[in-house]
Amino acid sequence: MKKALKITLIVVAVLIALFTGIIAYAVYDQLKMESKLDTIVNNLANEEKIDMTIETTGDCAKVERLIKTNYQDFYKLVDKVINEYGNPIISNSLSADNYVKDGPEFINTRKELNHLKIKRQELNEQMLEIVSEEAIRDNIERYQLDDYYSEIYREYVYSLKLIIEDVIKEDRSFNESIDVVIEILDFLQQEKDHWQVEGENIIFDEQSLLDKYNWLISKICLDCDTNENKDGPSSL
């Protein structure tokens, strides 16, 4: 009897050890996956193109796919802002060629600038929708994340939200530049009898008007999206 009891206790001890080892390995594997996920997500902010290859497993893979999709959608909108609604429109608005073609009323230029502001505002709103509470809840429900991984996902989305808010903050400077360009066009329309374009230069017949034009040009943000020169034509 004692021998049988001893054997039973040994078997139980072995089973407990095996069970403990299995749990320990599972916890280790989970922590390893979460660490890998952290590294992947931390690098997303520096990627030019998001690689949608999923490198983790289990629930981490669900979070990885979600947050990569969020960053991918964000970068697509940023590319659209830069490539379709970026600085060249401002530069072209203040070119000598445009002064000749569309001045002194600048009807078409005003339409383009106003359209530019509207489209960029729409794109900003689309960026914010990516990190909205409604979008977060929908994604959590769709991927059936538990409370633990839902919180991890929320933390990653919050980091992306901070990036988006910085982008939108920079965009306000761009909009301010557009407002200054419109102010310059208003000025040129108002003083249309006192300036003319010669080559790449705009010529004023009064020093005070020249000074005001140069002052308005200096107000334009030179650092909104790129380092392109947004100065108007040379003034004399």
Give the integer Cα–Cα distance in Å for 74 and 63.
17
- Taking the CB of residue 82, how many other CB atoms lie within 10 A of it? 12
89-132 pLDDT per residue, tens: 788 999 999 999 999 999 999 999 999 999 999 999 999 999 99
Q: What is the pLDDT of residues 140-180, one digit of tens each?
A: 999 999 999 999 999 999 999 999 999 998 888 888 889 99
The mean pLDDT value for 203-220 works out to 93
Question: Dihedral of CA 103/107/112/118: which sign?
Answer: positive
The conformation of residue 131, written as its DSSP 8-state character, comes to T
DSSP symbol at 170: H
Confidence at residue 27, expressed as pLDDT on a 0 to 100 scale: 45
Is 220 exposed, middle or buried, given 0-12, 13-18 or 19+ CB atoms closer than 10 A? buried
- Between 30 and 53, the higher pLDDT residue: 53
What's this model's pTM, rounded to 2 decimal places? 0.76
Written as six digits, the tokens of 113 are 């600038």
The DSSP 8-state label assigned to residue 194 in this structure reads G
Amino acid at 38: D
DSSP of 3-22? HHHHHHHHHHHHHHHHHHHH
Tell me if residue 201 falls in helix, strand or coil.
Answer: strand
Which tokens belong to 154? Answer: 């929320």
Close Cβ partners of 46 (under 8 Å, ≥ 6 residues apart): none
Sign of the dihedral defined by the CA atoms of residues 80, 85, 87, 89, in that order: positive
Selection from 83, 55, 79 nearest residue 68 by Cα: 55
